Amino acid sequence: MAYRYGDRTQGEMFPASAEQLVSADDPVRAYDAFVEALDLESLGLAIEPHRVGNSAYDPKAMMKLLVYGYSYGIRSSRKLERALYHNVSFMWLMGNLKPDHKTIAEFRRRHAKALARVLKQCARLCLSLGLIEGNTLFVDGSKVRANAGIGRTWTRKRCEEALAKLDKRIARLLSECDAADAAESSSASWVHLKGELSDGETLREKVADLLKTMQAEEKPSLNTTDPACATMHGRQGTHAGYNVQSVVDDRHGLIVNNDVTDENNDLGQFARQIDAAQETLGRPCETACGDAGYANVAALENVDKQGVQVIVPSSRQASKKKPDPFDASAFTYDRERDTYTCPQGHVLRYSQTNRIKQHRVYRIGGSTCQRCPHRAACSQNSHGRTICRSVYADVAEKLAAHYESADGQSVYRRRKQKAELPFGHMKHNLGVTGFLLRGLSGVKAEASILATCFNVARMITLLGVPGLVALLGR
């Protein structure tokens, strides 16, 4: 059987153009059409084709490069530059423009705020195409590493300990300098001591400034490489990172809103993310769902007041553990009398209100509890059993009922496959183990691009490349 052999020196009478090398159903055409459909000026990118001065690269082409590159896990400016020389789809997308890595990095840095707004336009575009319904929204969060090491994180305690050590070191060096001055000021040891003393004083000044910044901003820690990041605790251990939030639509799993925070947990994020998603939709949703990480009733109440059905399990509901026989849930509350009744029929009456913790306290007489045969299992307090009722107890009971209902369980089962898929795609398929940019503005831009890439990939899956191109170009 004969072989076919290639010939690198073989010429062609009519060299093929980039247009001929990219098929009609190549995904790059969908990304090209998507960016063409964006209103770049509303994003904050100035389009000035007749500007006087040295010519710059077309902002629309640079936007295409970033969105398409991120979609295939190519985020480094140097790797993007290399792709412009080696990858036919990149050559076609850019019309053979070849900006260097410095130009790419500078464009991304200078237009971080504009890039952070891309997802909102993408979501509204999906809404106009009927791909986002907006009735049921799922909220989820994931920790992503920052472009900074955890070793560069300074806590207040670490600063205070370092300052104490530096003070001792500086005092020792001063005494040695005085001794060197008395002996022979021109000796090499004296010059060395002066240099070491200067370094110690400079370091002390930096550490003192760090401590002042933490105290002024009321931060528990500060990273010297990326001051905007925070210490995150996740499945992969403790690291410097960010908390990425995502709101996903139930219909096709498309992302409606995306945000990045420096908070280590999700407790205060539910209302904030749902409100931002509803602003993008232009109307309130019908149902909002999240996992037990969002079980902050004070924050959930803000969404419940809007007439939105909130489906978020409490920590107890999520753990699925059976309560103890004398758990607070076993005590019956009488709304009319404002009293609790224990499982043995004894009454707990209102005692006081803790305004700091925002709950009402109910107590039972100590003598009553001491005579009870279940005292050891119920309470060890010598003053008798105490029940604390949160000021948000009515809302908590309402939300618990929503979660336990058949409709609530049906919605919650869909949450995992809808809300967690985007993060799985970004981390597993695109290889996003951490952000490349530093600062909250930079990481928000990267998160927005990654979320947009997921949406475009889903749109291609749903409509196909020719179908999507036709809809975007109409």
If pLDDT is split at 50, 70 and 90, which confidence band does 189 have?
low
Residue with tokens 């423009």: 97
Provide CB contacts within 8 A for 469, sequence distance 6+.
Answer: 29, 30, 33
Q: What is the predicted pLDDT for the residue at 66?
A: 95
Among the residue ranges 74-78, 256-260, 384-388, the one predicted with the least confidence is 384-388
Q: How far apart are CA 36 and CA 190, in angstroms?
A: 68
If pLDDT is split at 50, 70 and 90, which confidence band does 178 have?
low
If pLDDT is split at 50, 70 and 90, which confidence band does 168 have?
confident
- The answer, yes or no, to whether residue 184 has pLDDT greater than 60, is no
Averaged pLDDT, 42-60:
76
Averaged pLDDT, 331-337:
86
What's the chain's average pLDDT? 86
Q: What is the predicted pLDDT for the residue at 135?
A: 93
If pLDDT is split at 50, 70 and 90, which confidence band does 18 have?
confident
If pLDDT is split at 50, 70 and 90, which confidence band does 435 have?
very high
Decide which of 17 and 474 is more confident.
17
Instruction: Select, from the ranges 4-8, 81-85, 216-220, 354-358, the one with the highest average predicted confidence (pLDDT).
Output: 81-85
Averaged pLDDT, 381-393:
83
Provide CB contacts within 8 A for 42, sequence distance 6+.
Answer: 117, 121
CB 34 within 8 Å of CB 463: no
In the structure encoding, which two tokens stand for residue 13, read together?
């009478």
Q: What is the predicted pLDDT for the residue at 376?
A: 79
Averaged pLDDT, 54-77:
90
- The answer, yes or no, to whether residue 434 has pLDDT greater than 80, is yes
Q: What is the predicted pLDDT for the residue at 216?
A: 83
Residue with tokens 């707990």: 348
CA-nearest of 27, 232, 57, 277 to 142 is 232
